Structure 1
Amino acid sequence: MKLLFEGKGWQIQEEDVEGGGDFVLFAPNGQTYCAVLKASTEGRSDRVVPLFAQALLEVRARSRRERRRPAAVLIWVGDASTALVKKLVQFHREHGEGEALAILSDVPLYVDFPGLEHVADERPRTARRSSHSAPPPLVFSDLAQWMLKLLLAADIGRDDLINAREKSYATATDLAREAGVSVMSATRLINALKEENFIAAGPSLRLVQRHKLAQRWKAAYVKPAVSVPMKFLAPGVPEEQQLRKLLKREDATLGQFTAARTLGVGHVHGAITTLWVQDLAAAEGWRGLRVAQSGERPDLVLRQHPYPQSLLRGRVLHDGLWVSDIIQTWLDVSSDPSRGAEQAAELEHGILANVIGDRA
């Protein structure tokens, strides 16, 4: 999408996908467009045309609600044939109400925007071929990991282990709406997964070769998180009571081995409690705690999570305590030098066997 608008004087503002719609487009002439973006990784007309029709209905409703005219529809198709583009254009002519239209792939395929109509004609034919020679890499970014959790949640079998609904997703747009991310972010992830054969062909987005995918995913956790060992200050007060007080904070999440035990799937005992925090420097100053001195055995370890969005969106409330979800717990313990590999293997052969383990 940036290829179409950037450098042409347009500005793009992404909006909350849960609020209805995706973008606001600001034209160089001062005109403001509310735009809905839909994406499909497959170029099948029986899927793309209904998706296009849905986009038309959504953008009309949104433009009337916000009293912002005109409206625009952007549709991204991973593998769009000339016949499909013609079908979409014809559908727009017959059922559209003057909405601006852009059909995109790795490059613009058809553009009907004031001041941008020439872009489609300027595109060299070699551009589309060369764009497919460099498929999007599979990157385990913060929000990409959250989307992977959503794709796997239906196979966990217990709703108390992750804050995600057990459902399937037909398109990247469906996944983006559930995840609360942009359609393009979801599309990039799905395209990367398909390129490496981690998505099976079918009516829904189903992950395959999960054991191989899991090994790749765990590699993102090789580098240990920054941590600080801490001691409780209140003498005579049970440590569990002091810990529960800390965990009432919204920015503290029980993690690693203690999280596994709290979720009822722990295998390793005696490990020091880990608390994931959002701001480690601020957490060091929490009341009731002090930094452990050299040689002291800490009561707990504060760690700042490298992927806070995936952690916070997936965590569950267990007996009044925030606990990292089962997939996050598996990832976090996997590289722990004490007995992390042992705990991770137990999860892969046990509760996660049908999710990312040896039976997946």
Structure 2
Amino acid sequence: MATTLAQARSVLADAGAFGFPVDVSRRSDPVVGTRDSSRPEPFATLPRESAAIAGEVLAGELRSSTKSDGSGEYEAMQLLRRPVARATAAATLGAIDDDARNEVADAALDWVDALGPVIAAPAPPYRWSRARRQEDAARKSLEGRIEALGDPTPARTATMLAAGTQVPIAAGAWLLVALAERPELQERLAAGEVEPIWVVWEVLRLTPPTWATARVARRSLDLAGVRIPEGGVVVVSPLLLGRLPNLVPGGDGNPHQQLARLEVERWRDPHVRPGAWLPFGLGASACPGRSVGLAQLVALTKWATSASLHLAATPSTDQTRGIFPRPARIAVVRVEGGNT
């Protein structure tokens, strides 16, 4: 386990020394040695214009997904599925018509759903197993739709869509839970006393959907005085790094207690650099949709300010695919004059 920022940076940034253990579909063998074939090309970072598109589409889809007056009880993970998938597809695929975008978004959700049992299985499923056949069919369907749009790299784009869909859904569900637990924070948001991005950063710090990522040593090497053998696994955890006093402000007094609490005010100081705990990774393997994900979460926070949110059930943490709340049932009551 990398327990400091310096160690985490060393592991994530040095692709020559560390590689991914397996791909998300658990088809490939663990990375060992220095074979060039084991070093995938990094994804291109989505431009800032894509972030604006994602935020706009998400806001519109949320309005369409909720009841006519915006009130009701919703399961957050379900509420966010299609809005996030469509916003991510719009940001990733560029100028295509809404029907084609929505078809790709639904196919991305199908693959995400099919990947669930594969990721959660104790061992990679056999190629003839039901889980593998369903995942393979969903992946090929998504890639086929992307290829039909003229995309020259459908497999890479499919991977980007799946990751850019599942992670913001989980992060958005945690954000809605955090707001529903804190009526006073909702009031301050609505009054303009708190910036939406402060809430986003604090939720990402306390409940990062990708709470841990692993790398495999391509050769025998030293890390912070510890000998890592070739093929040895090192884990980097944004969840752990986000609780280190040297990376997060507001840890005065008892830092363990202070940093375990959601305190959005810690990001008020414009000189404070959020994201030091690496919620989006680092280096060539960093999340290419960082700005798109942030834009979606900011748009979701703004949407939430036009309603009063309350928990309809006590959430627990599901760790089968990252960390996400289950159940995440939110009661939404439209605020007079709101635009939910």
Answer yes or no: same fold by TM over 0.5.
no
Task: State the structure with bigger RCO (CA 8 A, min sep 6), 1 or 2.
Answer: 2
Q: Which has the higher strand share?
A: 1
TM-score range relative to shorter protein: under 0.3
Greater percentage in helix: 2
Q: Taking structure 2 as the reference length, what is the TM-score of the superposition?
A: 0.24
